[in-house]
Amino acid sequence: MPIKFLCNFFGILSLLAIFIFFGFSNLPSENLEVVFLDVGQGDAIFIRMPQNQKILIDAGPAGEILPPLAEELGFFERKIDLAILTHPDTDHIAGFVEVLKRFEIEKILLTGVQHETEWYREILRQISKKEIPTIIADAQTDFDFGGGVILDIFWPMESLVGKIPADANAASIAARLTFGQTALVLTGDLDVNSEKETLKTSQNLSAQIFKLGHHGAATSNSAEFFAAVNPEIAIVSAGAENKFNHPNPEVLERVKSAEILETAKEGSVKLVSDGVAWRLIEYQ
Ligand SMILES: [Zn+2]
């Protein structure tokens, strides 16, 4: 897709993306729910805000997302307030083709990088056809969901619209979500070099929950980055016996100070915060 088209497509909204309010701060706050959906080899994270906005960060590979998402949304909910495409790799975005068909997505956050796959092209076509407003991610982008919930995007540092990254994983959207004293860090498939660049900034990374980068691969999850997050729980979103050998055994050893929860073993992993502490929810 030509760069000029992408710039026109994404440019206007990116100007408006500095601080986006989703909340109504006079409404009562309840809990923040985060679910690492079991989509096999890939990532899909569903978040329900205290004021009931729903966000979906990645949608996994094709053919996996609808059953675990339906479990969280129920039969009647059809609206997703914000979808985030961390990066265009198939194990993160192919599921959006099904999600876009069945759900009403209010806004989409993405990097706007060029990526020549049929899945990504189809998703961009659907976004354009449905005229869904897009927001371009950069480190200045933050979302206020009301009730004290802030999503702080810290990677990419600047807009990547129209760029062709040498390493698609290095162009992942990474974010820290905070609610009261609780926090969560999500880095998509962010690589070790980008972790290192982030550590040079003043970005606060501390969080009780960290979804290990790149399904627990050794190309992510440096000891320094993990120490900066210093989580109590490390999540691995990967398929059982996947061909990439995720998670990497050395990474698991490196992060063993945290409780490790793998979607391949647990199925979907649901955590709820009341703003003071996280609680793991057992599925029946
Ligand atoms: Zn991936």
Which band of pLDDT confidence, cut at 50, 70 and 90, is reported for residue 202?
very high
User: pTM here?
Assistant: 0.91
- Report how far ligand 1's centroid is from the alpha carbon of 93 (Å): 9
Counted residue by residue, the chain has a size of 284
Segment 111-117 shows an average pLDDT of 93
pLDDT at 76: 87
CATH of 3-22+30-267, one of 3.60.15.10, 4.10.110.10, 1.20.1440.230, 3.30.470.10: 3.60.15.10
Segment 210-226 shows an average pLDDT of 98
Question: DSSP secondary structure string, the chain?
Answer: --HHHHHHHHHHHHHT-SEEE---TTSPP--EEEEE---SSS--EEEE-TT--EEEE---STTTSHHHHHHHHTTT--EESEEE-----HHHHTTHHHHHHHSEE--EEE-------HHHHHHHHHHHHTT--EEE--TT-EEE-STTEEEEEEESSS--TT---SSGGGG--EEEEEETTEEEEE-TT--HHHHHHHHTS------SEEE-GGGG-TTS--HHHHHHH--SEEEE---TT-TT-PSPHHHHHHTTTSEEEEHHHHSSEEEEE-SS-EEEEPP-
pLDDT at 11: 53
- Report how far ligand 1's centroid is from the alpha carbon of 86 (Å): 9
Q: Among 8-17, 124-133, 172-181, whose mean pLDDT is lowest? A: 8-17
- Cα separation, 256 vs 258, in Å, equals 5
Domain limits, the chain = 3-22+30-267
- Report how far ligand 1's centroid is from the alpha carbon of 89 (Å): 7
pLDDT at 28 over 70: no
- Report how far ligand 1's centroid is from the alpha carbon of 241 (Å): 15
pLDDT at 13: 54
pLDDT at 168: 93
- Report how far ligand 1's centroid is from the alpha carbon of 147 (Å): 31
